[in-house]
């Protein structure tokens, strides 16, 4: 199908995603292993230190502790690497998802055009109209983070679409809803719920929560400039 050319391209591009993912995870695993090794080493060192402290001179003590310290710093290094790796992986998948979304939007638009070109009203399409009600819901469920940018234009497009396109497109919202809720889905916000609707990220890079529902932080629109979550604001104040 000619319409799916870009989709074919997409398939090509996504082909090696699994490999990349695997490689990254492999790396992470290795790092993890090394960290664990270091930790074991540290334990040994610590035990040794404790048993011999009495006999050690100050310099020796320092030396010994230094060893432990350096082992720890290695651990942290590994940890940082892992976090970095995870973020990188996330970005990678996210990039693919965004591209797919864009392609899908294009695909849907094409379908719509075609549907308008050949004016047929199929009873089938009419029957499928029922599925439409669910669509609005989908918008709200949406993608957590990028929701704000992505979802709204999409929804508009739906509304403008012809009946057939509607009928076809109406299939996927239900699909989205049908998708079983992953019990492990990461939770965010003060409320510890999964992401939905519009979310805002705390600008504190060390924020333990990171993402917040608009409603939970009393926001309706995206604030200008930096935004910090209530917790981080408190912390900041304390530090001051």
Partner 1 sequence: MRKPRRKSRQKAEGRRSPSPYSLKCSPTRETLTYAQAQRIVEVDIDGRLHRISIYDPLKIITEDELTAQDITECNSNKENSEQPQFPGKSKKPSSKGKKKESCSKHASGSTFHLPQPSFRVVDSGSQPEAPPLPAAYYRYIEKPPEDLDAEVEYDMDEEDLAWLDMVNEKRRVDGHSLVSADTFELLVDRLEKESYLESRSSGAQQSLIDEDAFCCVCLDDECHNSNVILFCDICNLAVHQECYGVPYIPEGQWLCRCCLQSPSRPVDCVLCPNKGGAFKQTSDGHWAHVVCAIWIPEVCFANTVFLEPIEGIDNIPPARWKLTCYICKQKGLGAAIQCHKVNCYTAFHVTCAQRAGLFMKIEPMRETSLNGTIFTVRKTAYCEAHSPPGAATARRKGDSPRSLSEAGDEEGLKDGGEEEEEEEMEEEEQEGQGGVGGPLKGMPKKNKTSLKQKIKKEPEEAGRDTPSTVPIVTVPQIPSYRLNKICSGLSFQRKNQFMQRLHNYWLLKRQARNGVPLIRRLHSHLQSQRNAEQREQDEKTSAVKEELKYWQKLRHDLERARLLIELIRKREKLKREQVKVQQAAMELELMPFNVLLRTTLDLLQEKDPAHIFAEPVNLSEVPDYLEFISKPMDFSTMRRKLESHLYCTLEEFEEDFNLIVTNCMKYNAKDTIFHRAAVRLRDLGGAILRHARRQAENIGYDPERGTHLPESPKLKDFYRFSWEDVDNILIPENRAHLSPEVQLKELLEKLDLVSAMRSSGARRRRVRLLRREINALRQKLAQPPPPQPPSLNKTVSNGELPAGPQGDAAVLEQALQEEPEDDGDRDDSKLPPPPTLEPTGPAPSLSEQESPPDPPTLKPINDSKPPSRILKPKKMEEDELLEKSPLQLGSEPLQRLLNDNGINRLSLLAPDNPAGTPLSGVGRRTSVLFKKAKNGVKLQRSPDRALENGEDHGVTSPPASPVSIEDEHHSRKRPRSRSCSESEGERSPQQEEETGVTNGFGKHTESGSDSECSLSLSGGLAFEACSGLTPPKRSRGKPALSRVPFLEGVNGDSDYNGADHRSQDAPGGPPSQWCPHPCPPAGRAETGRAETGRGWREALPCPLL
| Binding-site ranges for partner 1 (CB under 8 A) | 1, 4, 7, 14, 21, 25, 28, 35, 39, 42, 46, 49-50, 53-54, 58-59, 61-62, 65, 68-69, 72, 75-76, 79-80, 82-83, 85-87, 89-90, 93-94, 96-97, 100-101, 103-104, 107-108, 111, 120, 122-125, 143, 164, 167-169, 171-172, 175-176, 179, 182, 184-186
Query: What is the closest distance, in whole angstroms, from the C-beta atom of residue 133 to partner 1 in the complex?
Result: 18
Query: What is the closest distance, in whole angstroms, from the C-beta atom of residue 69 to partner 1 in the complex?
Result: 8
> Residue 101: which of 186, 14, 185, 181 has the closest Cα?
14
Of 19 and 58, the one with the shorter C-beta distance to partner 1 is: 58
Of 25 and 190, the one with the shorter C-beta distance to partner 1 is: 25
Query: What is the closest distance, in whole angstroms, from the C-beta atom of residue 224 to partner 1 in the complex?
Result: 27
Query: What is the closest distance, in whole angstroms, from the C-beta atom of residue 11 to partner 1 in the complex?
Result: 8
**What is the separation, in whole angstroms, between the first and last Cα of the chain?**
63
Query: What is the closest distance, in whole angstroms, from the C-beta atom of residue 238 to partner 1 in the complex?
Result: 15
Of 69 and 140, the one with the shorter C-beta distance to partner 1 is: 69
């Amino acid at each position: 199908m000619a319409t799916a050319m870009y989709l074919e391209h997409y398939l090509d591009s996504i082909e090696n995603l699994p490999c990349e993912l695997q490689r990254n995870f492999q790396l992470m695993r290795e790092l993890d292993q090394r960290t664990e090794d270091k930790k074991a080493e540290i334990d040994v060192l610590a035990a040794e230190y404790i048993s011999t402290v009495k006999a050690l001179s100050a310099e020796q003590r320092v030396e010994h502790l230094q060893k432990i310290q350096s082992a720890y710093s290695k651990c942290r290094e590994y940890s940082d690497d892992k976090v970095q790796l995870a973020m990188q992986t996330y970005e990678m998948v996210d990039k693919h998802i965004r591209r797919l979304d864009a392609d899908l939007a294009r695909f849907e638009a094409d379908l719509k055009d075609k549907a308008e070109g050949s004016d047929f009203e199929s009873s089938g399409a009419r029957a499928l109209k029922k599925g439409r009600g669910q669509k609005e819901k989908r918008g709200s469920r949406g993608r957590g983070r990028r929701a704000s940018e992505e979802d709204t234009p999409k929804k508009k497009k739906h509304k403008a679409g012809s009946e057939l396109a509607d009928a076809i497109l109406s299939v996927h919202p239900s699909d989205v809803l049908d998708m079983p809720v992953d019990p492990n889905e990461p939770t965010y916000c003060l409320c510890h719920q999964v992401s939905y609707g519009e979310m805002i990220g705390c600008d504190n890079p060390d924020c333990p929560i990171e993402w917040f529902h608009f409603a939970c932080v009393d926001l309706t629109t995206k604030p200008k400039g930096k935004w910090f979550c209530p917790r981080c604001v408190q912390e900041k104040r304390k530090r001051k």
